């Protein structure tokens, strides 16, 4: 091989190496487990659907959804308005349907209704889904509301308007639950 042939091959090799390095550098890094990560056997087991449904029932039975709602297109005109849903009881019916015995309060509305609603699961997160469901005394609604870590958030619509809703899940103290009744105040507490 002559010198010219060697120099051409060397230039081609350098160009290919440079191009290859650029391609490899653009590839995403492969995730490797951290040195301190737990082996699979030590990780807690994922909850079963039955366990998730039990947690969902316990979270919402005897609870209030205390939060706010917005109306799309009016966000800049007025602050979110308060709304509250008191859920006396939640019970799984059949398949993905659940019965919510609820009291709905927003604007000048205050209605107590039993609502059979569909609940879908996104992994460990329950999502109440209703599509064009007639809520007696309030109208026809479509909504998707998810629950996680004692909070809720979602979208709603009723006919030609809709918006967002979000807030906290708060347990309502029961008068007949042990330890939840308020004791009469002592004379010292009354002076405070």
Q: What is the CB-side half-sphere exposure of residue 177 using CA atoms within 13 A?
A: 7
- Among 17-21, 52-56, 62-66, 73-77, name the one with the lowest average pLDDT: 17-21
In the structure, what pLDDT confidence band is assigned to residue 4 with cuts at 50, 70 and 90? low
In a domain, 68, yes or no: yes
In a domain, 31, yes or no: no
State which of 2-16, 19-33, 138-152, 172-186 shows the largest mean pLDDT: 138-152
In a domain, 113, yes or no: yes
| pLDDT tens track for 162-177 | 999 999 999 998 755 4
Q: What is the mean pLDDT of the chain?
A: 79
Q: Provide the token pair at 20.
A: 């290859």
- CB burial string 63-97: b at 16+ within 10 A, e below: bbbbbbbbbeeeeeeeebeebbbbbeebeeeeeee
Number of residues that this document lists for the chain: 192
Higher pLDDT, 97 or 138: 97
The total number of structural domains that make up the chain: 1
In a domain, 36, yes or no: no
In a domain, 129, yes or no: yes
CATH of the domain at 54: 2.40.128
In a domain, 167, yes or no: yes
Residues 156 and 141 sit within 8 Å (Cβ to Cβ): yes
In a domain, 79, yes or no: yes
In a domain, 182, yes or no: no
| pLDDT tens track for 90-108 | 999 999 999 999 998 877 8
Range of the domain at 88: 49-171
- Quote the pTM value: 0.67
Q: Provide the token pair at 112.
A: 């107590």
């Amino acid at each position: 091989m002559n010198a010219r042939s060697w120099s051409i091959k060397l230039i081609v090799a350098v160009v290919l190496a440079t191009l290859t390095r650029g391609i490899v550098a653009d590839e995403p890094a492969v995730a490797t487990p951290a040195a301190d990560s737990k082996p699979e056997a030590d990780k807690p087991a994922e909850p079963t659907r039955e366990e998730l449904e039990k947690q969902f029932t316990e979270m919402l039975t005897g609870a209030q959804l205390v939060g706010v709602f917005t109306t799309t297109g009016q966000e800049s005109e007025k602050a979110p308005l308060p709304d509250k849903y008191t859920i006396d009881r939640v019970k799984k019916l059949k398949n993905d349907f659940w019965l919510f015995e609820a009291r709905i309060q927003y604007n000048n509305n205050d209605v107590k209704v039993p609502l059979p609603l569909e609940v879908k699961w996104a992994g460990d997160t329950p999502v109440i889904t209703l599509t064009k469901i007639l809520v007696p005394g309030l109208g026809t609604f479509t909504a998707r509301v998810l629950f996680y870590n004692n909070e809720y958030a979602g979208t709603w619509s009723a006919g030609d308007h809709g918006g967002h809703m979000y807030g906290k899940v708060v347990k309502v103290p029961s008068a007949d639950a042990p330890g939840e009744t308020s004791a009469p105040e002592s004379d010292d507490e009354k002076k405070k």
